[in-house]
Structure 1
Amino acid sequence: MNDDVISRNELREKAMECGKLAQQDPRLLVVGLGYVVNAPTVYQWISVRDGLPETDGNYLVAYTLGIDQYWMEVSGFCKNGKDVCEYGLAGAKNTFYGYDDEYGYYPINYVAHWMPLPEPPKEDAE
């Protein structure tokens, strides 16, 4: 067996280790999973103080829930709120946003860090 290939059981064990580490520090989960799947590109968190995305799209964001606590999710980003929804983000500029089936689009004002999403997996040609 190739040294770079691991079994499902080994993958499951490594994912569980990542989950345990994430309980101590949620930021480690992304790095841990990147290690498990041997992602070729490792993105770094970018503080919103250092800059915002240059293009509209979806990004992985981390926002604060209190002292040293972060929640991570995929969020949209738009330079001009009118481009997303005329009402929910009207007048908003350079805004991360979410969507709720009941309430529609809403700004997420407490994003602390962001990073680009990785490329989706490619199908193996057989």
Structure 2
Amino acid sequence: MKNRICVSVVSLFLLTLSFTAFANADQDSAANADYESAIVSYEAKAYKEAFIHIKNVLQANPDYLPAHLLLANLYFETGLWEQAHKTYLHAYEKGADPNLVLPNWSRVLVRLRKSEENVSHRRICRLI
């Protein structure tokens, strides 16, 4: 009897674990599809669609660095300078490749007239 209860509990645990893994895999798959759609929309200059897809990606996976970088580029392309600045800063602080962040971020800082930050980021760029 005790053995049967133990097997039932273990089986229930494994079943729950497998459903959780399946749900996470399905969510990751949807996020990957949204990210790919965001890239396609961005390259086609369909920025509204790209925003929708990238927001879905970040909702599913808030720490996905390439999505933050694409979001910053979307803000840059649509002239949302302050949002672009904050998003580039976030991506940079989280470890995004400076060669992908700094060119557009420098342009954003010039637009926002934040020259001191621009100069300090250029110094960082020279060190890299």
Q: TM-score with structure 2 length normalisation?
A: 0.32
Larger relative contact order, structure 1 or 2 (CA cutoff 8 Å, min sep 6): 1
- Structure having the higher strand fraction is 1
Larger Rg: 2
What is the TM-score normalised by the length of structure 1?
Answer: 0.32
